[in-house]
Amino acid sequence: MAATKAPSEQRSTEAASGAPDERVREVSLFTRLFRRPEFGAIVGTVVVWTIFAVWAGGGFLTLGGAANYLLVAAYLGIVATFVTLLMIGGEFDLSVGSMIGASGMIVALLTAFYGLPLSVAVLVAFGFAVAWGSLNAYIVRKTGLPSFIVTLAGLFALRGLTIAVSRLLTGRTQVGGVSDATEGSPLVALLAGEVGGFDAPILWWIVLVAVATYILLRTRLGNWIFASGGHGTAARNAGVPIYRVKWLLFIGTACAATLVGVLQVVALGSADSLRGELVELEAIAAAVIGGALLTGGFGSAVGAAFGALTLGIVRQGIFFAGIDSDWFRVFLGVLLLAAVVANNWLRRKAMEAR
């Protein structure tokens, strides 16, 4: 009489023979693609690029045209990458636009007005960003208020503080002379140089997206971010340090906005207190177009990158097509609505295919 194999012994035999485990249903390639948050954004980017390639043609299809829309996408994408991580963690930061203006003004005042080296000014700007991100995280935790409200208040307060301080010290809200003050600094090439005809911010954007993707998919911190935004109570009961995770994410968004502010002030040679207006909403739009859920727990840095790239293509495509730039907001609204509808449809199809 033949003996019956134990389940573990049977699994070992199947694994050794290479035969598929009948208890594990195979998932098709299309279903796996549908489940990826960035799938809809990639398709949308291809469609939008094709439309403007046909519509605008000419300069849009040149290397210079690509460098233009990639630079626009890079400035937005750097912020959108960390805004997406924060959204996956279940929070918002609406003060990033004001942080762009504030950090640029800090660098301009310290270099052009007080004559300090660029390296010192950049360190001070990032130190301020760490303090601002920590303050946002502390207030959200202590008050229990939604981060949307806390950072909305921060948006107005930080913008007003930037305008008031710059006007108090210089008598105006724009400060120039940064190019002369930072001439010869090795940081200028790192922040405003070019590689192969492409500006440095594009490389910064690519590197940061790669780092954010690695963190999300390959580290314990990435698991904690998804858990914090997916089900906070369950994550806390499982030992996830939710407050520390969100504290790091708030600092990350503030530092990303500061990096954009520093890149812009060095590239343009001047600071403007109003710089960065509405970037917070465009960053959230890029994250949503990239497949991130407003409820948290789902999204990807790659999706946010394609969301930012789509908006960059639209903004520059309108220019190359000779359309009034006022129409950009119209395209942005239509794209945002279409992306949400498409992502919901793709996600529902993926769930039905289980």
Range with lowest mean pLDDT among 11-15, 111-115, 150-154, 284-288: 11-15
Structure confidence by residue, pLDDT tens digits, 77-98: 999 999 999 999 999 999 999 9
Long-range contacts of 231-238 (CB under 8 A, 24+ apart): 231/297, 232/90
296 φψ region: left (φ > 0), alpha (ψ -120 to 50), beta (else): left
State the pLDDT at residue 258: 97
Range with lowest mean pLDDT among 131-140, 280-289, 324-333, 340-349: 340-349
Per DSSP, helices labelled H in 182-241 are 186-192, 200-218, 220-230, 232-237
What's the whole-number mean pLDDT along residues 261-270?
95
- The candidate with the shortest Cα–Cα distance to 75, out of 235, 194, 166, 203, is 203
Q: Is residue 22 pLDDT above 70, yes or no?
A: no
Residue type, 263: L
Please report which confidence band the pLDDT of residue 2 belongs to, taking 50, 70 and 90 as the band edges.
Answer: very low
Please report which confidence band the pLDDT of residue 74 belongs to, taking 50, 70 and 90 as the band edges.
Answer: very high
Structure confidence by residue, pLDDT tens digits, 200-222: 999 999 999 999 999 999 999 99
Q: Which domains does the chain have, with CATH numbers?
A: 36-353 (1.10.3470)
- The candidate with the shortest Cα–Cα distance to 335, out of 35, 43, 30, is 43
More confident residue, 162 or 293: 162
Please give the Cα distance from 255 to 241 (Å, whole number): 21
Give pTM, 2 decimals.
Answer: 0.88
Please report which confidence band the pLDDT of residue 354 belongs to, taking 50, 70 and 90 as the band edges.
Answer: low
How far is CA 210 from each of CA 106, 207, 218, 304, rounded to the nearest angstrom? 28, 5, 11, 12
Structure confidence by residue, pLDDT tens digits, 94-144: 999 999 999 999 999 999 999 999 999 999 999 999 999 999 999 999 999
Please give the Cα distance from 302 to 271 (Å, whole number): 30
Structure confidence by residue, pLDDT tens digits, 181-201: 999 888 998 998 888 878 999
State the pLDDT at residue 23: 63
Token readout for 29 is 């390639």
State the pLDDT at residue 333: 85
More confident residue, 325 or 199: 199
3-state secondary structure of 271: strand
